[in-house]
Chain A
């Protein structure tokens, strides 16, 4: 158990719809990263939030957006869903500058299926 929780566990949407995934970071962690993991592949970095601001972004289109709240929890929003968006979405929290510098604690993920 990492203390990072994600909701929902599973989700089914249809092409063109919008989806919001949620993540609660480990207590005290001010940085949240989101990853997409397609079947049989390693996780791919989507973006990262540090103190409520985007702090880096991977190679994902603008229809992938996010938010971080004052309590450091975070949301991932995906608009105009495509079939290829079907994947496991992972959230990870960290606390840069501590002894566990760059160690990221992952949640169990949200499995999104787009039909």
Chain B
């Protein structure tokens, strides 16, 4: 069962910030929030992850609410190459599946000129 809820699709103008929301209201205290993206015809690509503090790397920023029930992935200056499906994933804390990632359907982000 999916543990996250994301909008099906979003648009963003090139050069503007893309803010992708994710709801994970049932997240447990020791579960991390991960973001991956999948550009058409490629394998998924890791973007960023966090537990409760906001995180930033060269690709994006991750903002997690204080109650940890939702998060937002921010691409500060979207480019056409950021057009992809973005997956928000909560890693199971008690799983027999090792480090399995439970992908949902993700958000299809379209960056337009």
Asked whether, in the complex, the Cβ of B99 is within 8 Å of the Cβ of A42, the reply is: no
> What band does the interface of chain B fall in when counting residues whose beta carbon is under 8 Å from A?
20 to 34
**What DSSP secondary structure best describes chain A's contact surface?**
strand
Q: Measured between C-beta atoms, what is the minimum distance from A106 to chain B in Å?
A: 3
Distance between Cα atoms of A52 and B102 in the complex (Å): 23
| Choice from A44, A57, A102, A106 contacting B45 with Cβ under 8 Å | A106
**Of A42, A43, A56, which contacts B97 at CB under 8 A?**
A56
* Across-interface contacts of B43 in A (CB, < 8 A): 2, 4, 90, 92, 106-109
**B100 contacts which of A2, A56, A90 (Cβ < 8 Å)?**
A56
A48 at the interface (CB under 8 A from B): yes
Q: Is the CB of A45 within 8 A of B44?
A: no
User: Which of B45, B96, B99 has most chain A Cβ within 10 Å?
Assistant: B99
Could you tell me if B87 and A42 are in contact, using CB atoms closer than 8 angstroms? yes
Task: Kindly report which residue of chain B lies nearest to residue A48, judged by CB atoms.
Answer: B98
For A85-111 the 0/1 string (1 means CB < 8 A from B) is: 000001010101000001111111100
The majority secondary structure among interface residues of chain B is loop
Q: Is A58 located at the chain interface by the 8 A CB criterion?
A: yes
A40 to B, closest residue via Cβ: B105
**Which residues of chain B are near A96, meaning CB under 8 Å?**
98-99
With A102-B91, A103-B46, A105-B46 already in contact, the answer to whether A43 and B103 are too (CB < 8 A) is yes
Residues of chain B with a CB closer than 8 A to A48's CB: 97-100
Interface residues of A (CB under 8 A from B): 2, 4, 31, 33, 35, 41-45, 47-48, 50, 55-58, 90, 92, 94, 96, 102-109
Residues of B bordering A, CB below 8 Å: 32, 34, 41-46, 49, 85, 87, 91, 95-106
